[in-house]
Amino acid sequence: MYPILFALGPIEMHTSSLLLSIGFIIGILLLLKNIQLQRISMEFLMKNYFLFFIVGFLGARIFYILMHLESYQGMYPQNPLLSVFKIWDKNMSLAGGILSVMAMLIYYAKKEHEDIAKWLDAITNPTIIVFIFYHVGNFFEGANYGNETMLPWGVIFEGTNVKYTVPIHPTQIYALIYTISILINLKIMKERRNMFKIPGQYFLHALAFYSLFNFVEGFFRGDDIFMFGTLRIDQLMAALLCIIALFCIKTHVFRPKSP
């Protein structure tokens, strides 16, 4: 585990932060390319990008706090809402941030008569790229770690943020593998099998695949999170998103309406 790439005096460069920054840069470049290919409005993005950033930031923070509510209630028993603004602990939920941006994108795209389906397709691959770098960063950081295992590929993390001192599932690597597999399979389905002729179907399939694998991954996770019975809150969220995506695929929700 190499959480800190290098340090210059009091300034530290975290490996996860660097990798996530690289992922965002590549994702933004790919998004700009997709906007041209989809022939959608660059002006819409430029006009609202700051709002999307703020919503994404707040969503990432709030989602993380909700998933670790017990910990934050203990830190700020008098006023738990204060934890939203104490951002120096650097605890964020990438999935929460992206979902918040997507919700805001859908709202404003509908409000400004943009093609919602094309916009969702345009942000799909950039989002997957960001998640790829995010999972690698989590491995070096020791975040989103797994539970105990006797399997030969179990790993031992040395760090105070990992509660296990025995081999555990490298769930970050599991997530990396299935995320890359989703990207490859979507490409095959689109280019070789000529699928996703209807705008929005590419996004919905990506969401269904990722949510399903993320749900399964939860059974191998060992990090603390808010639980509902035997299921983690992020598993419940993944299950809900998968069901919604499958329903939308089945009902062809983005199919153009007949005049």
Whether 233 has a pLDDT exceeding 70, the answer reads: yes
Residue 56: closest CA among 96, 25, 84: 96
User: Which pLDDT tens digit goes with each residue over 24-50?
Assistant: 999 999 999 999 988 898 888 888 888
Amino acid identity of 246? L
Distance between alpha carbon 96 and the CA centroid of its chain, in Å? 7
pTM over 0.85: yes
Q: Where exactly are the structural domains of the chain?
A: 4-184
What pLDDT is attached to residue 19? Answer: 93
Q: Which of 65-74, 115-124, 129-138 has the lowest mean pLDDT?
A: 65-74
In the numeric block, which tokens belong to residue 104? 């805001």
What pLDDT is attached to residue 229? Answer: 86
User: Which pLDDT tens digit goes with each residue over 97-131?
Assistant: 899 999 999 999 889 989 999 999 999 999 999 99
Please list, in sequence order, all residues whose beta carbon lies within 8 angstroms of the beta carbon of residue 3, skipping any fewer than 6 positions away.
Answer: 14, 15, 16, 140, 141, 142, 159
What pLDDT is attached to residue 125? Answer: 96
User: Which pLDDT tens digit goes with each residue over 168-207?
Assistant: 999 999 999 999 999 999 999 998 878 888 899 999 999 9
The 3-state DSSP class for residue 53 equals: helix
Judging by beta carbons within 10 Å of its beta carbon (0-12, 13-18, 19+), is residue 27 exposed, middle or buried?
Answer: buried
Helix, strand, coil percent content, the chain, rounded in steps of 5: 65, 5, 30
Q: Using alpha carbons only, what angle is made at residue 239 by residues 238 and 242, rounded to the nearest 5 degrees?
A: 85
